Structure 1
Amino acid sequence: MTFSKGIPTKRPRIHMKVPPVWGTRKVGLLLLSGGLALFAMVSALNQTFWQPVPDDLPHRLLWVNLASAVGFGGAVGLQFRVMRKPSAMLVAALYFLFSLSFLPRVLNFPQLIGAWLGFAEHLAITAGLLYLLISWTGNIAWRVAARLVYVPLAVVFGLAHLLSLPETAAMVPTWVPGSGQFWAVFTGLAHLAVAFGLLTPRFALMACRGGATMYLLFAIFVWVPNLTATPLKAFDWSCLAISVALAGALWTLGDLQRETA
Structure 2
Amino acid sequence: MIKLDPDLVAATQQGSRAALETLVRSMQRPVFNLAIRMLAHGPDAEDATQEILIKIITHLGDVKETEAAGAWAFRITCRHLVHARKQGTLEALRLDFKGFAADLYEGLEDLPDSSIQDAETQIMIEEIKIGCTLALLTCLSRSLRAAYILGEIFELTDTEAASALEIDAAAFRQRLRRARSLVTGFVEARCGIVSPAARCRCDRRVTQALRLGRVERGHPRTPPAETPAPSIAEVRANVAKLERGRAAAALMRSNPDFTTEVGRFVVDVIDSA
Task: Flag whether TM exceeds 0.5 (same fold).
Answer: no
TM-score, scaled relative to structure 2: 0.26
Q: What's the TM-score, normalizing by structure 1?
A: 0.27
Structure number with higher helix proportion: 1
